[in-house]
Amino acid sequence: MAQIGVTANTQLDMLRAFCTSPSLEECLDHRFQLEAALEEGVSEIIDLTGEDGSQETSSRQATVLGDEAQEYSSYELPNGVLLEPGKTVQLKQPVGAFQIEFVRIKSIRRPAWELDVGIRGLGFSRNENLNGMLPCWLNEVTMVAEFHNPNAIQWEQHSLIDVKVRDILCVRELRITNAPFPEHSSRASCQTSLGRRLSQEKQGPLVCRFRFQIQYLSDHNTVPFERALIKINEEEADTDYRIPDSVNLNRWRGGKVPGGSYRPGGPSDPIFDLEQSGPEPPHLTPRQRYTAGDVFSGAGGAARGMERAGVKLEFVVDNWSHAIESLRSNFPKTRVHGMSVADYCASGETKCKVDLMHLSPPCQYFSPAHTIRGKDDETNIRAFLTCPRIVERNKPRIFTMEETFGLLLDTHQIYLHKLIRGFVELGYSMRWRCVRLSSWGVPQTRQRFLMIGSAPGEKLPPFPPYTHSKDGNGGLQPWVTPQSALAAISPTIENELHRLEPDKHFKYPRERWDPTTLAKTITCSGGQNYHWSGERDFTLLEYAVLQGFPTWHRFKGKCIKKQIGNAFSPTVVKVFYEHLINWLLVQDGFDPAAVRQEYAREGMPSDLTADNYICLDDSYETGQTRKRKHCQVVYNSTCGGNQIDADEQDDELSDTVTVRAFTEEPEPHRGGAEDDVAADLHVFRRTRDESVGVERDLALVLWQAKDGQGTENDPFVLLD
């Protein structure tokens, strides 16, 4: 293949950022209003801001900066201690909600019209001040970056703090390192006397291994937009305390395979030792892909989205019998582990490395609707806290996690922080936020807690840019509405989940509602949703489509509405994992656009937008001899000439325009009206049992419902 190049009071004070409004929902509504106004700038992800301060007198080598400030190359304290940029000082009293006690100096300055000289720099807090998110090792500190701005690209300059020199206690040694604990630490053994330990705490070297970022959208917003706990990387570490990121990744998982661990025909567990790799640029092998696993899979919502993004889905895990039936039906070539996560972590057959992993642990206990004790609460909490063990078992380069937004409530903070600490002790970085899923194409008011984590030695990806906004401003698409989403279901479709049984119609009509607005959040019971006519409930298929499933996804077993309501929207997961695949490709030294072209040549998804694929398929009955189901796929002519492999090609049809109707056996394609479907797109047909109208220079292949994509009664035609 071608080359492609403390005290309880203090702890409570630090929680002010979590929720200061009467309710978390109100806080989030206010934040979402701000977010809508800033949607253009937020599309890339986090960022930061924070500025100015004040300070004291006397110095040497002062520079006048216009009318703004006087800057000093050094400053001598009354006790003779010399301050210079790059040195770290301890403050007489910690400052701020996160108890910042140390500052690494970036500049020494006296603001205009002030007599006090001050320092500006990055703040650090002892680990014990972060409410259990980090182990409380002696003299281990964390950089704190708190800022109010929707753009996080230049986080450092926006998170600097100002302190007066008169508030400085002394100079301390600070080691910023990307090495794991206990390297470079000032440890005290169990036999160390209390006096010696206190002396080390006051005078020993400080060590920083993580940065805690807290981002707000505006100065008036009191609820953080996003938080991140990021392991210091090679570029950020001090020169004397730096190791290659590749060493950290090798120590954790034995290296990586640039371009993905799935390589057909290659070794079953191909891992490249990054420390031994030469300067030769990486190459992709035929059909190479990133591998993934999905734990707490349910009916396969996340798994479906991951698969459609282009990963090789290695395994799914769930313990609910009905969900297991759905998983086996939809993913016949994927290992389905029907077991509890405790059994999964104990099994000798489940220990394998994957590049990517998703986790959707039980959310009932953390839901705002959970007001009374449930019989499964302890089981669900244990499963939730098992997530770090699962990650440790499969060692993904990147993981994602989805939960109810209620996890951010103060009452659940202890569980969230315990979860984070579990990941931190493995060396993972992570960022998390509450997201309105309509921003990624879900036609509901659904809000979820989402987290992205990266392994030791891997850079932490941002969240993917938003794709939708309420009014379609900033180059985004307007929100997907229930009306537009359900237009994908043909009026003539024959699907057992779409039967309008008499019990679906209400005895007394309900209030009509506008189908061009978002639906309510779909829950296990439907979430008080019903058809906008007010005359009936949604069918199960309609609920599934509103949740982001393709029309051909199979639901087996019982409790199907619950399976749908529990699912993480495949629409959102697809956006996430396309973004993460591109991120990994860049980290691995590839050009994502070029790799997508290679994917297209091999029948893997390349550009899966509605501009490139349109499905026009027909319902039919298997007993009919003349009427057959035909699938017409409009494939962008820019992909012409590429070989399509039916086994590997992904389908994006449910996210595009879908029309269904009966047709007779088609005449051979001669051009004409069908060519008007789209300006530069080709339309071709093929029946399930014979080819028709195939032009000589084009090869059609029938997609035979492999790898859980499509169904035997709903094949799709692909062409090159």
Q: Is the dihedral of CA 691, 693, 699, 703 positive or negative?
A: negative
Rg from Cα positions in the chain = 28
Q: How far apart are CA 719 and CA 432, in angstroms?
A: 41
Residues 6+ apart with CB under 8 A from 15: 131, 410, 413
What crossing angle do the helices spanning 377-385 and 387-394 adopt, rounded to 10°? 40
What does the DSSP 8-state code read for residue 638? G
Q: How far apart are CA 210 and CA 176, in angstroms?
A: 9
Asked if 615 contacts 631 with a C-beta cutoff of 8 angstroms, the reply is yes
Active site residue 208: no
Asked if 581 contacts 602 with a C-beta cutoff of 8 angstroms, the reply is no
Phi, psi of 618 (to 5 degrees): -125, 135
> In Å, what is the CA distance from 460 to each residue of 25, 72, 335, 466, 627?
28, 36, 28, 18, 53
- H/E element, 215: strand 206-216
Half-sphere exposure of 187 (CA within 13 A, CB side): 8
Q: Is the dihedral of CA 345, 354, 420, 175 positive or negative?
A: positive
Could you say which of 208, 363, 615, 631 is catalytic?
363
What crossing angle do the helices spanning 413-426 and 387-394 adopt, rounded to 10°? 20
Question: Three-class SS of residue 170?
Answer: strand
Q: How far is CA 114 from the centre of its chain?
A: 46
- H/E element, 246: helix 245-253
Question: Three-class SS of residue 542?
Answer: helix
Q: Where are the alpha helices (DSSP H) in 315-399?
A: 321-330, 341-346, 377-385, 387-394
Length of the chain: 720
Q: How far apart are CA 98 and CA 424, in angstroms?
A: 18
Return the beta strands (E) in 300-413 as ranges: 312-318, 335-338, 356-359, 398-404
Active site residues: 363
